[in-house]
Structures are given as structure tokens and as C-alpha cells.
Structure 1
Amino acid sequence: MSIIDFISMALFIATIIYISLKQIETFKIKLLVSIPFIILIFLFSRSFVLLPIYIYSLIAATYLYTIFFYIPFAIDFILILISSLDHMATLKLLLISISVPMLMSMFLDKNMKKYGLENEEHKGKDIKRESYRDYFQIGTGIITILVFVFFGHFGKVIILYSVLLIYLFGNILYLHKDYRITNLVYRMERENTKLGLGSMYLASGFLLVMGFIGSIKVLYVAAFLIMVGDSLATIIGMRLRTPRLVYNNKKSVGGFLAMCIPSFIFGVFFIFYVPAIFYSVFATFAESISNKIADDNITIPVSIIIAHFILAVA
């Protein structure tokens, strides 16, 4: 065992012991659900390096929107930086070790689930504010695609650190509502929802997609679906009166087609027709049932990963 492995193992075990003794009620369910993920990450990496990254990502996500966020985030950031610079772990496993605990915490934490439900309930109610959000998200999608176009696989590293900065600044702005920039950002937030919550879900979901999908061309399509297609569904769904979906009366046929058709057209420029329509339909269906399951920034990325595995074995 190398010295780095030994230090990582010691840090991981010490942290587990500490939160088990001091904050077991907060982390009990999350730790239990994390066990299979931690085992798989260790088995695939054959190293302890990623385990403290996993646990500190979980702790940081748990304490999002509080002053207790900064210390675990700082430790996590340093560990991620060391790991990514020294190539001690594959980038795919590193991305999974960061995104899985982030999404898990958001999904399992009672407060975060409440914030997510409030966010979904106010979706589309304020057309002007929703438009700001969607245009910004479309712009983010275009920038993300361009990052891959110009930097290729290194674009994953750029996006990783961009996501970490989103988490940091989201927490800073939430705790300092008197900042001028905070008021500007709040103009793009839905009423009575946490600052940047949707962006953080989206960012974590896209990290998860990058962790499971290696093809840059498929990542073009994934970025379009998650950031552009989803926004088009909201924009058209708000503005056009079209029939409601049979299986979900809160979603419209117009919104479904507004996401599915442009995503398919974009996809055929980079991948074959069949995969393009498969990804588009699968992800659009996931978006159309998101209010019944989870935030669409979780359901869409997960659906893309599932579709990718189905196509890989077909």
C-alpha cells in the first residue's frame, strides 16, 4: 500500500467514525445507501484515494446553504485537485465519486427534498422569471458544448472545476443576501426556492453523465438535452396551449415535442439516427414524468445514462 493510499484510507475511516459518533442521525441513511457505491468505487479503482473524496462530497452537499459547508468543501476541493493533477484515479471514477454523493444527499435529505418540491411547484408560474432561467440555461448548454468542441476530453476537467465553483458561489451568495449580485441572481430563481438549487442539481447531474459516458459526441447530445432541450420544453410549454400528456396532466404535448424534436435534429449531426432518437425520446419522457419522481435535472441525466447502457448492449 502506497503512502497516499494509507493516508486516504486513514482519512476516510476517521471521517466515517467522527460523523457516526457525532452526527449519526443526519448521515445514517446516506451512509447505508452509500455502502454499495463505496465498495464499487474501491473495486474498480483498486485504491482508497477516491473514498475520502466521496465522503467529503457527501458532507459538503449535506451542509449546503450553511456555514458548515465550507470546511468539508475545502477538504474535498484539495483532495479532488491532488487526485486530478496526479492522475491517481481515472477521471470517470473521480466524477462518479463526486456526483453520486451530491445527488444522493439532495435526494435523501429531507430539507433538500422539500426545496426540490417547492422548486417544481413554482415551475412555469412566473413566465418572465422562468424565461430568464431558461435563456441562461440554454446559454450554459451552448458554452458546455463549445468547451467539448475546443478542449475534447480535457473539457471534462474544466467543467468539473466549474461545477465546484458553482457550489461554492451558490453557498456564498445564499448566506450573503445583501450582495448586489445576489439580487441579480435571484431574478432568475423561482419564487420561494433556494438560490441556485436548480443549477446545482443540473451541474451534479451532468457530472454523473460525464462519469458514465466517455464519447464526446454523445456528451454533445447529453448537454443539449439537459440544458437546451429541457429549457425549450419549459418555454414552449408555458407559451403554447397544447393538450396535456395522457400520463401527466401537468406536462403538455407541446413541451414534449419542443424538447424531443430539436434534440433529435441536433443529435443526428453527431451520432446515428437511431441513437439520436433513442436518447431524445428517452430523456424527454424522463422530463415529462419528473414532477412525479424527482427534479428533472436528476431524471434526465439518469435516463441518458440508462439509454447509453441499453444502446451499448443492444
Structure 2
Amino acid sequence: MDAPILRWLDSTPAVTQSWLVKRVANPECAAQAAHTTWTQVATLPGATLTFTDSTLPAGSTAVYVVQAVLKDGSTGPTSNQAVTCLRPAKATGLVATGSTTSIGLSWTNPAGTTAVDVYRDGLLLAHLGAVTTYTDSTGYGHSHTYAVVASNRWELLAMTGFQTGHTVPVGDALAKTYFTAASSDGRRLASGTTTAYTAPAAPTTGASATRAVPSTSTNSATVYWKPAGWTGSGTTPVATRDATWSTERHQSATSVWTAVWTKTARTTTSKVDTGRTWGDVVPTGSRPATPSAADRGRP
């Protein structure tokens, strides 16, 4: 999967001087006739009956033949053709951008990519075609870490035992070991990770009183709120995700909402409203202050 290994038999070892190894290679997703010229990639001693091709580019499909050079200087017939391939290299340039209720991903696929798997918080989330963007429609209050894996039929063969008709199960861990080999740790080749978050979920709010009446005391009410929790294991600190909050009120069921406080630090969870009118009934609500970058989910 990471370096093809060829093996063959010599039916006439007494007359074999050396071996020529030749190949035709193309990216897995390239047209079959993109490259058709045989290239010699190795000359080996006559007693050597195996070859590891460490020069085949990742994501390539290659067709190999071997040919004997006889002791009289002539060449024997070419062998049968052997076809193999390498999995793609790692996807690069992964970027995650948070918005109000979703997180968008973009990346660059390496040569030979025919499919992409998206991982969220270390677990397989989605199977995609050979695309370079994905939107995770999470809803409010999510913070996640992402990675992507570029795949092709040869990568799937190593992971599932099948070239087609099977996929790595959704929910599998990115750190899972799928096979044992001296040249590999048996895991998938993932991009680097990146983190993003959405706007916070709605907080829990309340007030110490709902009606003001004439008196000699101060006409006020204490408004309090509790930030909602977050879903996911994104690494952006919570204090950055919902850094500030705004609070609004309206005086009656028919009045419009007006700002009371804007950009209140998240560590402040209650404030006293002294701007009420005698006899009003005042619903209150808090939400993330805008247009803070934190509220848009951008680190």
C-alpha cells in the first residue's frame, strides 16, 4: 500500500544474468491512456526474485513486468503484467470556518484521490466523493476538531479487504489500526487537524421581579443568565467562543425589543436594570453580543 513489492519465479536460473523491472504508472483517477510508455525502474542480479518499488508516487496505479537478461547478452520474454497501486498522500491545507449554525471545511486533495472521508473529534463522520469542501450543519453551540482522509480503491482494500462495495464504518476512530505491516503503522493517512465553532446556544435567563409598582425604593430588577454548554471537543477556549453577551427588553407585549447592555463579559452573569417604567411587565433575554468574531465561530 505504501510501496509495491514484486515477486516472481525463474524457470531457467542457469542462464539468467540479471533482471529488468519495468512499469507504466498513472494517477489512480487519470485516464487509462495518460501514460503508456514502459519505464525501466530497476536492474537486479539474476539471483534476486523480489523488488520493492520505493519510487512510485503516492496515489498512482502501476502496471509492472520483469524481463530476464541472459548470460549471452540477449533478453528473454517479458513476464505477465502485475497491477497494483498506492493510496493517496495526505490531504493538505485543511481549513475550518465556523458560522452561526454550521462549520465549513475546505482542503486540497492529493493525486490519485477518488473519495474523501471526514473525521470530527477523532471519529469518522461522513463519506464523500473526490470533493474539496464540506459543510457540517451542527446547529448552535458546537465546537469541533476536524481531519480528512484522501482515499482510493487501494486504500480501501487495505482498510476493509475490498476495493469496492465497502467503506470504513462511520464512527470508527481515526487512530484505529486496520492492518499489520513492517512498512506502516496500519492506520489511515490523515490531514492535519483544525478547529472551529458556531454561535453559542441560547442561555438560560431570568429576573428577580416581573412588575414594578410606585414606591420610594429604586425602580429596578436584577436580570441573570447562565451560558449554555457546548457540544464537541474543539480546542478553542470557551471564553473565546462566547466572550460577550447582550441583553434586551421590551416594556409590554406590543413594544419592540431594545438593548439594555451590550458586550457584557461572559464572567458577568447578572446585572441590575434601573431603566424600568412603573407598572411594566418586562420579559428579558440575553444572547451573544454581535458582531463579535466569537459569535460567528471564527477563531
- TM-score of the two chains, using structure 2 as the length reference: 0.23
Q: Which has the higher helix share?
A: 1
Query: Considering only CA atoms, is the larger Rg found in Structure 1 or Structure 2?
Result: 2
Q: Which has the higher strand share?
A: 2
- TM-score of the two chains, using structure 1 as the length reference: 0.22
